[in-house]
Structures are given as C-alpha cells and as structure tokens.
C-alpha cells in the first residue's frame, strides 16, 4: 500500500484502515420469526415471517426491531399516525428504546430504497408487568380515582 500526503499543512495527517468486508445476511436470518418486531402498517404484508409485537390486556410487548417502508412513505404516512404525540406506538419506543438504523440492501437491487430495519436497544431495564386479571361489574358513575397527568 502506498499513501501520499499532498497537503502543504504540516499538521494534516492520513489515516489508513483495513477494507470493510460486510457480512451479509437476509432479514429472515438476522431477525428470525420469534423476536417481537414493530412492523409499520405499510410493510406488514411484505414481511409475513416476522413476529409482530403482541398486545394483550392493555400491555404492549417491547419490540426488538422496527421495519419501515421507504423514506417518503415513512415520513408521510407511518411516522405521522404512529407518532407518540398522536397516541401511536412510537410514543412507547421513543420513551423506552434507542433505535439504530441497520445497513440494509435489497437483494440484487442495492440502489432501491426498500425501507429500513431499525434495531432497538433498551435505555433502562424494566421488569415485566405483573398482571392481576379479573372481572367486575361497576356503575357508570364509578371511578377508581383521579388520572395522574404530569410527572
């Protein structure tokens, strides 16, 4: 390897690093079918093998990944109605998780914007919710107490 510094400034420098050789895997190989995924509505039918994050008894499963559509659809559609300000699922992920956009490519068409795969890391470990399930009959005037608004 030969590197030539053509700069006239003595403080400038050259960095030489080894070449990057990516380890390519399919989305199915990387994510699999058992990890919970936040699938934007626009891509749900295109990824039938991924496990959508579950919702049961008023509790949402914390996703490990998010799959989004191409940039324009994400900005115009899925980022708006999923936004936490509007009561969407991104309110959960924005508060609890940090998203990292993975380098992804469409097989045999690397230039096409297919969408994105985002890996979530938890900001704070939290124990799973302990549920107490049951049934009760209440009057329409019954209130369990005031709703806490604010910190």
What is the pLDDT at residue 29? 96
C-beta separation of 63 from 93 below 8 A: yes
pTM over 0.95: no
What is the pLDDT at residue 76? 87
Cα 72-83-48 angle, rounded to 5 deg: 65
Which of 3.90.420.10, 3.40.190.160, 3.40.50.460, 1.10.3470.10 is the CATH number of 36-122? 3.40.190.160
Residues of the chain with pLDDT under 70: 150-151
Distance from C-alpha of 31 to C-alpha of 27, rounded to nearest angstrom: 6
What is the pLDDT at residue 151? 64
Distance from C-alpha of 42 to C-alpha of 77, rounded to nearest angstrom: 8
Q: Which helix (H) or strand (E) holds 95?
A: helix 90-96
Tell whether the torsion through CA atoms of 70, 71, 77 and 82 is positive or negative.
positive
Greatest Cα-to-Cα distance within the chain, rounded to the nearest angstrom: 83
What is the pLDDT at residue 18? 84
What is the pLDDT at residue 8? 80
What is the pLDDT at residue 23? 83
- Which distant-in-sequence residues (6+ apart) come within 8 Å of 33 by Cβ? 49, 50, 51
């Amino acid at each position: 390897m030969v590197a030539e510094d053509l700069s006239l400034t003595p403080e400038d420098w050259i960095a030489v690093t080894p070449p990057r050789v990516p380890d390519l895997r399919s989305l199915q190989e990387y994510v699999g079918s058992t990890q919970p995924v936040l699938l934007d509505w626009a891509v749900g039918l295109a990824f039938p093998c991924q496990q959508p994050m579950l919702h049961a008894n008023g509790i949402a499963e914390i996703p490990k990944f998010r799959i989004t559509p191409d940039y324009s659809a994400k900005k115009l559609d899925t980022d708006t109605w999923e936004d936490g300000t509007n009561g969407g699922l991104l309110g959960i992920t924005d508060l609890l998780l940090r998203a990292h956009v993975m380098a992804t490519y469409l097989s045999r068409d690397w230039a096409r914007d297919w969408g994105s795969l985002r890996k979530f890391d938890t900001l704070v470990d939290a124990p799973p919710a302990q549920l107490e399930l049951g049934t009760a009959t209440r009057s329409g005037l019954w209130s369990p107490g005031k709703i806490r608004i604010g910190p």
